[in-house]
Amino acid sequence: QQIGLIKQLENRMSLLKQKMDAATDPKDVRKLSDEIRRLSLQKKELTTGVTNLGKQTKITSGIMGQFRGVLINTFGAYAVLAGIKSTFNTIREFEKSMTMVKAVTNATASEMQLLFDITKNIVRKGSIFDPKTLAETQLELSKLGFTASEIAVMIEPINNLAIATGEDLTKASEIATSAMRSFGLSAADLSRVIDVMGKALNISSLDLSSWNEAMKYAAPVAHQLGWEVEDVASMTALLANQQIKGSMAGTAMRQIFLKLADSGSNLQRAMGGNIKTFEDFVAGLRRMNEAGISLNEILEATDVRTSTAFSIFTSGVETLADVRNGFDSVNGSIKEMAEINMETLDAKINQLN
């Protein structure tokens, strides 16, 4: 508006000067001269205002350099000033959470610096989560008993899991660490667990919630048998594609594992006995197929709650074996899923915010 007014004043003054040059009556000349002087003063005031505004908005030159004109720079200054306020609040909350992490974990200065650097690097590389949210997740991990050095290797895989699945960081963190601990694994193995989760979600109708429900029931018993997370993940994915998932899948697998743990169970006898590992389980399923086991025999070996899931494993044993083999090369799968999701419009907007 100011620039527009200045332009109007300049046009008006130019027109008056032309009239003054053509005037012959001294009274008209004096009148036109006074009018030009008055407009000149107005122009000076407006020009001074624009100059001062330019000084105030100089801070935006680096960020808004692609824009031109006082109007755009004025808008840019407003946006940046609002952003500065938000940034200060984020920094304050980030430092508050990180201070609490230090207090809970008794971390050394070097360990805390490592966490600071990792968090900043995650945001710099591209995350939909701000430093404050990442710090709050680290605080929750510290409350779960993880040390600062453990959190340092856990936070980026958890960030990738949340982005890949569209879940919030807290939920992703809880589900991933729960699965990790259920299989007796350490923080160094979390990336592996998360990649397995990503693979399972990618090849089946599982989501993070149904995975978590299944693992709550199945994982602790599977671990007692000495089975790996990849073994149970392959079974969970196969069941999910037959619309058995969540607690239903978890309960069925748990019952199967409990019967396998009993060397004298009907299931052990039906499968040929001595079923200890996942490989033994697949071999036993193949023997049952070759023998042409009937549904009644499956019911006798298992029970009503478990028979449907076990029938899926029996009839789909070759698919189960193939799915399990696919879990041997999942390194980086969740990171790849996260990168794909970061290309969506929603992710771009969240990252921009």
pLDDT computed for residue 56 by the predictor? 46
pLDDT value, residue 65? 42
> How confident is the model over 139-167, as a mean pLDDT?
90
Which of the four pLDDT bands, split at 50, 70 and 90, describes residue 157? very high
- Which two tokens mark 64? 């808004």
51 against 27, higher pLDDT:
27
pLDDT at 128 > cutoff 50 = yes
pLDDT one-digit tens code per residue, 32-67: 787 878 878 777 776 666 555 554 444 344 433 443
Q: Which is more confident, 1 or 23?
A: 23
Mean pLDDT lowest among 12-16, 76-80, 184-188, 235-239: 76-80
Phi/psi of residue 293, nearest 5 degrees? -60, 140
Q: Which range among 44-58, 87-101, 230-244 shows the weakest confidence by mean pLDDT?
A: 44-58
Question: What average pLDDT does the segment 87-101 reach?
Answer: 78
Cα torsion 106, 110, 116, 117: sign: negative
Tell which residue, 160, 237, 167, 163, has the closest CA to residue 208.
Answer: 167
- Count of C-beta atoms within a 10 Å radius of residue 255: 21
Residues 6+ apart with CB under 8 A from 213: 245, 246, 247, 249, 250
Cβ atoms within 10 Å of 102's Cβ, excluding its own: 18
The answer, yes or no, to whether residue 163 has pLDDT greater than 60, is: yes
For 192-215, the pLDDT digits (tens) are 999 999 999 989 999 999 999 999
**Mean per-residue pLDDT, 154-181:** 92
Is pTM beyond 0.85 here? Answer: no
Q: In the numeric block, which tokens belong to residue 218? A: 């199945």
Of 17-31, 107-121, 260-274, 305-319, give the lowest mean pLDDT range: 17-31
Q: What are the tens digits of pLDDT across the range 295-345?
A: 788 888 888 788 889 899 999 999 999 999 999 888 877 888 887 777 765
In whole angstroms, what is the distance from residue 169 CA to residue 162 CA?
5
Average pLDDT for 127-141: 86
How far is Cα of residue 122 from the mean position of the Cα atoms in its chain? 11
SS3 letters across the chain = CHHHHHHHHHHHHHHHHHHHHHCCCHHHHHHHHHHHHHHHHHHHHHHHHHHHHHHHCHHHCCCCCCCCCHHHHHHHHHHHHHHHHHHHHHHHHHHHHHHHHHHHHCCCHHHHHHHHHHHHHHHHHHCCCCHHHHHHHHHHHHHCCCCHHHHHHHHHHHHHHHHHHCCCHHHHHHHHHHHHHHCCCCHHHHHHHHHHHHHHHHCCCCCHHHHHHHHHHHHHHHHHHCCCHHHHHHHHHHHHCCCCCCHHHHHHHHHHHHHHHCCCCHHHHHCCCCCCCHHHHHHHHHHHHHCCCCHHHHHHHCCHHHHHHHHHHHHCHHHHHHHHHHHHHCCCHHHHHHHHHCCCHHHHHHHHC
Please tell me the least confidently modeled range out of 1-15, 59-73, 167-181, 314-328: 59-73
Q: What is the mean pLDDT of residues 236-256?
A: 94
Neighbouring residues of 148: CB distance < 8 A, sequence distance ≥ 6 = 101, 102, 105, 107, 108, 111, 112, 114, 115, 142
Say which residue, 343 or 186, is predicted with more confidence. Answer: 186
Q: Which residue is it, tokens 């430093």?
A: 131
Higher pLDDT, 120 or 193: 193
- For residue 89, the model assigns a pLDDT of 73
Alpha-carbon distance of 17 to 21, in angstroms, equals: 6
Average pLDDT in the chain: 82
Mean pLDDT of 238-248: 94
